């Protein structure tokens, strides 16, 4: 009986606990659903009406009230648990067939009904047994009591999620309802740049990006300093969705704010300030000590200085500074140090070309930097230039002769030593140290006596000689300049105390001796650290000489030549191959002795086999007076013609040489003058006017100087150069006078005045006669225009004619014309480079270096034109001068092929007719007076 009573009580208590859980959960579902529905209702109203904070606060309080009610009801249910009898009645209600046995048994168990009769204990025991059996069969569940509350909660959640999915800013509505005190808005705005400091007069674009609910009335509001009224302007969206408003050339500070729908940005401020600027700039330039150039200074930021110069920048700003810095491209930045009188300074070593900027920061940290970079152009200290002026050509002499030599050298910063280096081919070098004089303008001249007696020379042996000059460069030098190499052939023919060069006949053709001489000459002047392209070019030329020598060697064997000649050719071949290999490996010192030994062997072959002549590689032109060549030689020439591709014709080389010379002359005419030390940009501009006013006079001067310095064998060439320069000068004068002469201008050459002097009609007629068709008319018209506009001589001012232009406008026009000329010359140089590239493919003697130099000159001319358009005369002059040097190398390479029998070993760095012009320009460029 006791077991049945305990089982029944346990089952009824479990049922009571289950009912309590169901009631509390159902209550939570109802309260939760109510809270969600109230939240959704308030959020919906706020979404459509954008409720003020007070109403949103009322909705929030309603939510709190519901939450409190639910919590109170839940606690009340927890304090009133379900009784056993209530659980029994719930069981009997779910199982009516069980009757009231379970509830009656529960009453006896809980004490609600007591035993009063003697038979009742047995009756109660029986009831409890029956209740236990019924509870064992019955399954009590309260799940059905949760269906309604759960459905209500599910409906609330569904409507909430639907609102969140449909409304783009539903979460913002929920946030505003849950936290009505927050600043959350349905429309948000992001303002750029916000608060900012800008220089006075600068533009600022206010960019606004709205998100969330699109604004219907976006606007910007601003207030200027010292003005109480606010101004407003509606904003319009651009294609990319931004709302932009520009503040143009602000002169004072401005406060501004952006609004749109319920979005209101914070108040930003644009603060204007006067940026610091360089009020005064001074750059002290100290060249390296060995140059003996006095320190100087300049006040313009564009710098062209010698490498390793010390530059001291001194800057005075328009306001107090906290920091100043020089920022370089490709170099570390350098901070300037503050000094007395608010001057900031820094010392810089000029080691490489660089762009630089001056960065300033005032007391409030406001920075300023020059927009366009300034340029630091660092020039290397080029080695001296030296020429043997007398005799300056290959010679024939007897072994007992003593040859008088004269030389001329030039260097910007002085020469410490000049010597003559000579040797018998295959023998050691010997030197003669020479005395020399200095004319004070960078020219050094002197002479020496070259005695051949001590060399124990025999017939058909050779002596090579050249001059070397060392400069005073103690920094990374000394720089060594080497003259062209000349050869002395030992023979009694045309010998004597004053031997003469072998005359050049029209029928002479290129020969193996000339080729080998040229290779020796080029190797002698080649620097040990020269580029791979130069070594490769020489190696290719030596390999071609090997090919010619092999053909001769094969032919000598076929025609039973003397064994001594065959052996000499074998030796020459071996030495040539050795030299070609050394050149390919960039071993100059090893290549030169082998080249000389090969040439010495070739001359000995001429001695053994006179019928070979000078070992030609091209057949002579047909001539009735010229005897037919030896059959053996004829076979060799036929073999060469079959095996070797046709070389570039002399006409092609001469045509390319003439084009290069004309291009160089034209560039020399356009070239702007270099700045003197301390000269400002303005002064440079005035100098250019003067230069442009008198191109004819300058052209004549250059031609006269070239003629005066030309060697005896080049007088005809110098005279032609003078006539060509005069024609170019008069042509340029006519064009400029026609374009730029104004009424009232003074005479030519007077402080930048344009025009022509009375009496210059003759020159104009000469230009007209010498120039191309139509050029004479231009010159006459230019003369007439200039004469009509002449003013008082020497006044240096323009008249008040109707066509007078301001000086700056005229200067800009002149610079633009010069820039256009540079562009045209650049295109011509590119065309010349293409032609030289084709010639190099036909003739390896020329190589590809000439084409590269022409292309390099084209790029430098283009850069000069660009600098002229920017008004940067210093940079334009530097680029123009470099282009002249590149063209000089092209001319030297072509002259080597065009005149193989005159001065065929003179690998000149520049043509003689331009020596005076280029030297004077480089002197100015290096700031030496």
* Burial letters 766-779, b for 16+ CB under 10 A, else e: bbbebbeeebbebb
The H-assigned helical ranges of 526-649 are: 532-558, 563-584, 588-608, 631-643
pLDDT surpassing 80 at residue 93:
no
More confident of the two residues 910 and 232 = 232
Q: How confident is the model at residue 183 (pLDDT cuts 50, 70, 90)?
A: confident
Q: How confident is the model at residue 4 (pLDDT cuts 50, 70, 90)?
A: low
Helices then strands, counting H and E runs in the chain, come out as: 22, 30
The H-assigned helical ranges of 363-470 are: none
Q: What tokens appear for 634 in the block?
A: 């004829």
Phi, psi values for residue 891, rounded to 5°: -60, -40
More confident of the two residues 180 and 718 = 180
Q: Would you state the pLDDT for residue 841?
A: 57
| Mean pLDDT for the chain overall | 75
- Please tell me the chain's helix, strand, coil percentages from 3-state DSSP, rounded to the nearest 5: 50, 20, 30
Phi, psi values for residue 808, rounded to 5°: -70, -35
Q: Which of 589, 534, 910, 914 is nearest to 721 (CA)?
A: 914
Cα–Cα distance measured from residue 144 to residue 558, given in angstroms and rounded to the nearest whole number: 127
Q: Would you state the pLDDT for residue 629?
A: 60
pLDDT surpassing 70 at residue 232:
yes
Q: What tokens appear for 292 in the block?
A: 């003996």
Local structure of 214: helix, strand or coil: coil
Local structure of 231: helix, strand or coil: strand
Q: Would you state the pLDDT for residue 269?
A: 94
pLDDT surpassing 60 at residue 677:
no
Q: How many CB atoms lie within 10 A of CB 320?
A: 11
Q: Would you state the pLDDT for residue 328?
A: 94
Across the beta sheet with 343-349, what order do the strands follow?
Answer: 296-298, 278-286, 310-317, 343-349, 337-338
pLDDT surpassing 80 at residue 38:
yes
pLDDT surpassing 60 at residue 465:
yes
HEC states along 289-319? Answer: HHHCCCCEEECCCCEEEECCCEEEEEEEECC
Local structure of 628: helix, strand or coil: coil
Query: Are 596 and 520 within 8 A, CB to CB?
Result: yes
Give tens-digit pLDDT for 854-906. Answer: 888 888 888 888 778 777 777 778 788 888 888 888 888 787 665 544 333 33
Q: How many CB atoms lie within 10 A of CB 204?
A: 18
Determine the length of the chain.
929
Cα–Cα distance measured from residue 251 to residue 247, given in angstroms and rounded to the nearest whole number: 10
Q: What tokens appear for 849 in the block?
A: 């270096």
Give tens-digit pLDDT for 277-317. Answer: 999 999 999 999 888 889 999 999 999 999 999 999 999 99
Residues 6 or more apart whose CB falls under 8 angstroms from that of 792 comprise 746
Tell me the mean pLDDT in the region 669-677: 54
Q: Which of 885, 834, 828, 881 is nearest to 858 (CA)?
A: 828
Query: Are 242 and 221 within 8 A, CB to CB?
Result: no
> How far is the CA of 269 from the CAs of 22, 126, 248, 251, in angstroms?
63, 94, 15, 14
Q: Which of 8, 881, 922 is nearest to 383 (CA)?
A: 922
Percent of the chain topping pLDDT 70: 69
> How far is the CA of 327 from the CAs of 98, 315, 316, 334, 348, in angstroms?
102, 14, 17, 7, 11
* Burial letters 433-443, b for 16+ CB under 10 A, else e: ebebeeeeebb
Highest mean pLDDT among 110-114, 295-299, 389-393: 295-299
Give tens-digit pLDDT for 573-627. Answer: 888 999 889 988 888 888 889 888 888 888 888 887 777 776 776 655 555 455 5
Cα–Cα distance measured from residue 102 to residue 92, given in angstroms and rounded to the nearest whole number: 7
């Amino acid at each position: 009986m006791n077991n049945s009573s305990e089982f029944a009580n346990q089952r009824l208590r479990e049922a009571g606990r289950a009912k309590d859980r169901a009631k509390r959960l159902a209550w939570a579902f109802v309260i939760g659903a109510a809270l969600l529905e109230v939240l959704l209702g308030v959020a919906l109203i706020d979404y459509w009406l954008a409720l003020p904070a007070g109403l949103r606060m009322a909705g929030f309080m309603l939510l709190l009230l519901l939450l409190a009610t639910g919590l109170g009801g839940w606690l009340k249910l927890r304090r009133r648990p379900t009784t056993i009898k209530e659980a029994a009645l719930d069981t009997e209600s779910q199982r009516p067939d069980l009757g009231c046995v379970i509830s009656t048994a529960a009453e006896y168990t809980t004490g609600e009904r007591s035993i009063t009769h003697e038979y009742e204990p047995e009756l109660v025991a029986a009831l409890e047994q029956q209740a236990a059996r019924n509870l064992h069969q019955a399954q009590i569940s309260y799940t059905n009591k949760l269906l309604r509350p759960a459905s209500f909660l599910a409906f609330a959640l569904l409507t909430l999620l639907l609102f969140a999915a449909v409304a783009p800013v539903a979460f913002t509505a929920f946030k505003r309802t849950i936290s009505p005190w927050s600043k959350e808005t349905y429309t948000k705005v992001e303002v750029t740049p916000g608060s900012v400091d800008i220089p006075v007069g600068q533009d600022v674009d206010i960019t606004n990006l709205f998100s969330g609910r699109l604004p219907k009335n976006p606007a910007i509001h601003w207030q200027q300093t010292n003005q109480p009224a606010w101004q407003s302007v509606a904003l319009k969206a651009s294609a990319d969705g931004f709302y932009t408003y520009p503040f143009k050339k602000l002169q004072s500070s401005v406060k501004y704010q952006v609004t749109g729908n319920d979005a209101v940005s914070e108040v930003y401020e644009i603060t204007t300030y006067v940026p610091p600027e360089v009020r005064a700039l001074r750059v002290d330039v100290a060249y390296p000590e060995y140059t003996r150039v006095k320190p100087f200074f300049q006040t313009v930021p564009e710098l062209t200085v010698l490498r390793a110069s010390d530059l001291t920048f001194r800057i005075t700003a328009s306001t107090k500074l906290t920091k100043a810095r020089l920022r370089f491209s490709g170099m570390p930045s350098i901070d300037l140090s503050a000094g007395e009188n608010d001057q900031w300074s820094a010392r810089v070593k000029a080691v490489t070309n660089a762009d630089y900027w001056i960065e300033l920061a005032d007391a409030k940290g406001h920075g300023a930097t020059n927009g366009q970079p300034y340029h630091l152009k660092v020039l290397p200290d080029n080695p001296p230039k030296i020429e043997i002026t007398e005799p300056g050509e290959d010679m024939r002499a007897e072994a007992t002769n003593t040859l008088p030599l004269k030389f001329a050298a030039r260097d910007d910063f002085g020469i410490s030593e000049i010597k003559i280096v000579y040797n018998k081919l295959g023998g050691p070098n010997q030197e003669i140290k020479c005395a020399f004089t200095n004319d004070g303008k960078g020219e050094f001249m002197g002479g020496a006596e070259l005695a051949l007696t001590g060399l124990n020379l025999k017939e058909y042996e050779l002596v090579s000689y050249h001059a070397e000059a060392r400069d005073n460069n103690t920094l990374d030098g000394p720089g060594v300049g080497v003259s062209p190499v000349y050869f002395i052939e030992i023979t009694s023919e045309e010998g004597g105390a004053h031997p003469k060069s072998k005359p050049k006949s029209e029928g002479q053709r290129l020969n193996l001796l000339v080729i080998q001489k040229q290779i020796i000459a080029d190797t002698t002047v080649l620097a040990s650290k020269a580029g791979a392209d130069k070594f490769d070019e020489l190696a290719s030329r030596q390999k071609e000489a090997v090919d010619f020598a092999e053909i001769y060697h094969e032919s000598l064997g076929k025609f039973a030549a003397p064994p001594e000649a065959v052996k000499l050719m074998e030796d020459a071949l071996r030495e040539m191959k050795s030299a070609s290999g050394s050149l390919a490996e960039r071993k100059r010192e090893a290549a030169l002795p082998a080249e000389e030994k090969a040439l010495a062997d070739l001359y000995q072959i001429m001695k053994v086999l006179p019928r070979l002549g000078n070992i030609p590689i091209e057949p002579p032109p047909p001539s009735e007076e010229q005897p037919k060549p030896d059959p053996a030689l004829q076979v060799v020439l036929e073999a060469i013609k079959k095996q070797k591709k046709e070389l570039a014709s002399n006409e092609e080389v001469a045509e390319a040489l003439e084009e290069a010379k004309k291009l160089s002359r034209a560039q020399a005419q356009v070239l702007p003058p270099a700045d003197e030390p301390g000269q400002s940009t303005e002064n440079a501009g005035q100098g250019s006017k003067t230069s442009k006013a008198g191109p004819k006079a300058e052209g004549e001067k250059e031609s006269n100087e070239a003629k005066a310095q030309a060697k005896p064998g080049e007088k005809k060439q110098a005279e032609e150069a003078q006539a060509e320069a005069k024609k170019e000068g008069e042509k340029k004068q006519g064009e400029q006078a026609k374009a730029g002469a104004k009424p009232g201008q003074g005479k030519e050459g007077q402080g930048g005045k344009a025009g022509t002097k009375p009496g210059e009609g003759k020159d104009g007629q000469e230009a007209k006669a010498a120039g191309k068709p139509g050029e004479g008319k231009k010159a006459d018209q230019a003369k007439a225009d200039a004469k009509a506009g002449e003013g008082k001589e020497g006044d240096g001012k323009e008249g008040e004619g109707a066509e007078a232009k301001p000086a700056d406008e005229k200067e800009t026009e002149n610079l633009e014309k010069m820039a256009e000329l540079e562009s045209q010359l650049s295109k011509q140089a590119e065309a010349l480079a293409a032609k030289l590239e084709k010639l190099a493919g036909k003739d390896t003697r020329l190589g590809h270096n000439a084409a590269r130099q022409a292309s390099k000159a084209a790029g430098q001319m283009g850069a000069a034109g660009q600098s002229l358009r920017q008004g940067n005369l210093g940079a334009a002059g530097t680029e123009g001068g470099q282009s002249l040097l590149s063209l000089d190398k092209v001319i030297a390479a072509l002259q080597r092929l065009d005149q193989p029998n005159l001065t065929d070993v003179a690998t000149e760095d520049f043509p003689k007719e331009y020596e005076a012009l280029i030297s004077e320009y480089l002197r100015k460029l290096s700031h030496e007076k």
